[in-house]
Amino acid sequence: MNLLKQKPISAGWQSKKAAPWKPTHDLLQISLAGHVLDAFWLHCGHRNFDVWAANATMDDLSAVAKHVYRNLFTSRAVEEQINVEEPDTVLMNTILYNRDVLYYWLLVKSIKADDIGHVVLILWIWMVMMCTPKTMPRYANPIFETLGRLQQYPEEVQKLFLHNWLVNLTGRADGCKEVDLLQEYSNFWVKTVYGAKGVNCNWDWLSMISVCIYSLRDAMHVVQNTFGIPIYGTRHTTPDMSKEVQYIAKKLREEKVQEYVAECPANHDFHEGSKYANKRSAFSRYRVDEAIIADLGFCWRKQNDKEELYIPSTNDLAMDSEEPIDMADELLAGTMALFEDD
């Protein structure tokens, strides 16, 4: 985040607070592209990558892609590094990062493409990874229970379960959503459209509009387009991230992060860092000094505290181009004003 001059976020499986999804998703997307670009530059066999890319055939791209994947995006590449005489810890951690981000991106694309087979495959892999000691068993257990019960269902029930895990209300390509995310969108639009007052402010009215909430949303679009109601919000657009990707690839190349470096200085930093926790200086640094007045407005998290559940924000929901979340208030206000004038 500091490299791209963005606001720092707290992340990691040891963090008790869930990381914000949208900036994390954007960062992983940019970072993965930067790592892939640097990897192609390393393994294309040409000093000038732009010249090679301009003249490369599809067979050339496929051959280099396989070589990149095998050497920088697989668990086997990590095992090969472990078995060398002087392992490069930085390179090993980079390969693990590349592998995990690629899994995540495959899950994202598979959900949008309604590829439930790849979704289940990634869940199986993550379940095994999360079951390892000191990781995330609280996530692994629900995945294990869900997939385990799925295996016990009859074949027809399995198909019913899998075919209804992802929903595409528009019929467009790459328009699928998870059922729980679809529920979040429904809740948002119900809150936006549900502006009942007086006798209509009751559960019967709410239940009536809930079943046709997307039809009401589309009706607001039709009214807005037909009568030219101005909307001052901004539609969701994908920003150009080419400069950020190029910058990350450049830094990776300068620091030789995805190359094997014998006697890499960072290896000693990892070793020294692991020894630091056993020193007396670490004890004096991290123990609570009762002589210092503590700020009662802030306290460390207790072990018995409940974990914070991440609730999707408006910014998260606005990532979907089919959902004009950022224009919802103005769209509703303009439509209702038109009816009031009539």
Residue 323 near residue 317 (C-beta atoms within 8 A): yes
Q: What is the pLDDT of residues 85-123, one digit of tens each?
A: 888 889 999 999 999 999 999 999 999 999 999 999 999
Tens digits of residue pLDDT in 195-244: 666 666 777 877 887 888 878 777 877 877 787 766 555 555 566 788 89
Quote the DSSP letter at residue 200. G
Rounded Cα distance between 151 and 157, Å, is 10
Q: What is the pTM of this model?
A: 0.74
Overall size of the chain counted in residues: 342
Distance CA 319, CA 328 (A): 14
Q: Is the dihedral of CA 42, 47, 53, 55 positive or negative?
A: negative
Give the whole-angstrom CA distance, residue 177 versus residue 183.
10
